[in-house]
Structure 1
């Protein structure tokens, strides 16, 4: 009896056992991506166990069947993740899904994990009945924007400002990108 080959690099739905690794990837990705954009005091509060606890809840008790967390794996190790959900924006249409998180471990960038993860996100949103996807990007996150735009994502007119401290002393501006989830007709 021979063993079946196992993909060295893949994407699948997240399991509860993945959530510590997801939290660690998010902490590393936030520190790398947002260091120039956030006050040092806020970056110092980035905490992998806190992120992991939130992701454990999202994976084990999602608010609906259309809330999903995906992980990108390399040799069984989590190197990226994404979360999808119905869009909750005020101008949402019934077919609008949202990518609420999309991060690849900085040490694994440029190895194809983001592309595999993005394809799986589109497939997951389509399978959940969405016809358009949205994602909010931090203004200044040029790496993620530079990755998404060639993949067919484009800005729409939506923008918002997040008050990170509740007192206006630390804010982040975001822009929304969108893409059609229609299958290519080729």
Structure 2
């Protein structure tokens, strides 16, 4: 991902939230998401952020981005592990089910395995059945860990998934 991609990545992320989390996250929160503000945050993170965080994009071949993923070291409070985490994976909603997400996830898994990580984790909204099926088909399994986060005044539960990258 380059700084030139930040506006498109922000649009992908926000449209992805609005599509995937409808009915799971308060609608006023989803309606209030701001692409321009998110693009500014993406740009700042890219320019000033942790260089261990990798941002991958899928280009249509015609200069339009179809998807984005962010990955890096597993975040577990103050504890640092040798494991990796998929922080985000979003597609333009019209490209869901066309193999773009599988290709992007495969690239993320390959990157983490090549970097020597033993496991890869991700968090998914507990009620997001399509995303859970997507990750399960890719070999991730729910490992029993659950957390909740506050978004738009509501508490939303997440489930952690893991994949062994050693073989």
For the 8 Å contact 2:119–2:162, the answer to whether it is kept is yes
CA distance in 1, matches of 2:46, 2:57: 11
Partners of 2:78 and 2:120 in 1: CA distance: 13
Provide the aligned length of Structure 1 versus Structure 2.
166
Partner residue in 1 for 2:114: 127
Whether contact under 8 Å (1:79, 1:108) holds in the other structure is yes
Computing the radius of gyration over CA atoms, which structure comes out larger, 1 or 2?
Answer: 1
Q: Name the structure 2 match of 1:74.
A: 60
What is the Cα deviation at residue 73 of structure 1?
Answer: 1.4
For 2:114 and 2:46, the matched residues in 1 are separated by 18
Instruction: Quote the offset at 1:93 in angstroms.
Output: 6.1
Q: Say if 1:67 and 1:83, in contact at 8 Å, map to a contact too.
A: yes
| 2:163 matched residue in structure 1 | 179
**Distance apart, 1:61 and its partner CA:** 2.5
How far apart in 1 are the matches of 2:94 and 2:159?
A: 26
TM (norm. structure 2) is 0.92
TM-score using structure 1 length:
0.83
Specify the alignment match of 1:29 in structure 2.
16
Aligned counterpart, 1:100: 87
Question: Structure 1 stretches of 5 or more lacking a match?
Answer: 1-13
Give the equivalent residue in structure 2 for 1:39: 26
User: Please, which moves more after superposition, 104-113 or 121-130?
Assistant: 121-130
RMSD: 1.6
Quick one: structure 1 residues 152 and 91, their matched pair in 2 at CA, closer, same or farther if it must change by over 3 Å? farther
Contact 1:163 1:171 in 2 (8 A): yes
Partner Cα separation in structure 2 for residue 18 and residue 33 of structure 1: 22
Q: How far apart in 2 are the matches of 1:91 and 1:122?
A: 24
Deviation sequence 1:18-67 (CA, Å, 0-9, x none): 1100000111111111111122211121111122122212322221x321
